[in-house]
């Protein structure tokens, strides 16, 4: 079935909601996909022929139009008269508009946080340094949490008896995080990496696959 030319002039509002569709003797509950002042896109099975007169209802609201486009189960309706969009949308933003507005607000907040952060420092390098210091602080905090967790488990005889070897991993995790925090916080990262006391960590950090030759 062919479709009539798509001449949508007004901006469409995306919305997914139920409405009542009537054409001839057919009366169906269908989905409204988008809406404008003078048109709608509906989703319904076996739509009537192009040019069919239709009546669309939602609660006490009702409007009439003609079917001008068919694309699979979706069809476009050109309304005979403009409608009050606020009434058909219940005065609320559609889901897509709400998501778009929410995303825009998030981006604005992130942009403000970024500007406020950089305004605290004289240059970009100083800001980067501050971020590194704060990351190191967070890592040391995590190390303390792991240490406390390990000590709690070590006080439980049953856990200690069954998982004595695994319980030692808490101390290893604490050491790894502590050394990494020192590395992140160092002005000379390469030098700090070479001097990591934990040999297994030092070997992994300085592995040749990094393709950055470092001489001690």
pLDDT string in tens for the chain (216-residue length): 444 444 444 567 776 677 888 888 888 888 888 888 899 999 888 888 899 999 999 888 899 999 999 998 889 999 999 988 878 876 455 555 666 677 778 888 888 877 777 777 777 778 788 888 888 999 999 999 888 888 888 788 887 778 877 878 888 899 999 999 999 988 888 888 888 888 888 888 888 554 444 443
154 neighbors 147 (Cβ within 8 angstroms): no
Q: Where are the domains of the chain?
A: 13-88, 122-209
CATH class assigned to 13-88: mainly beta
- Determine the Cα angle at 27 with ends 25 and 30, to 5°: 145
C-alpha distances (whole Å) from 66 to each of 36, 41, 157 are 15, 12, 78
């Amino acid at each position: 079935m062919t479709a009539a030319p798509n001449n949508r002039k007004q901006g469409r509002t995306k919305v997914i909601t139920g409405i009542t569709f009537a054409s001839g003797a057919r009366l169906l509950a269908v989905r409204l996909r988008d809406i404008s002042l003078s048109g709608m896109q509906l989703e319904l099975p076996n739509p009537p022929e192009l040019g069919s007169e239709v009546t669309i209802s939602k609660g006490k609201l009702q409007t009439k139009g003609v079917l001008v486009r068919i694309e699979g189960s979706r069809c476009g309706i050109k309304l005979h008269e403009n409608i009050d969009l606020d009434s058909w949308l219940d005065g609320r933003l559609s889901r897509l508009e709400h998501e778009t507005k929410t995303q825009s607000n998030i981006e604005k907040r992130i942009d403000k946080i970024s500007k406020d952060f950089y305004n605290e420092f004289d240059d970009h390098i100083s800001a980067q340094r501050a971020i590194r210091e704060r990351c190191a602080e967070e890592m040391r905090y995590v190390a303390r949490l792991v240490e406390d967790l390990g000590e709690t488990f070590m006080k439980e005889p049953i856990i200690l008896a069954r998982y004595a070897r695994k319980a030692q991993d808490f101390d290893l995790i604490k050491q790894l995080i502590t050394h990494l925090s020192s590395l992140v916080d160092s002005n000379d990262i390469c030098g700090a990496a070479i001097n990591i006391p934990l040999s297994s960590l030092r070997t992994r950090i300085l592995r040749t696959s990094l393709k950055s030759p470092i001489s001690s």
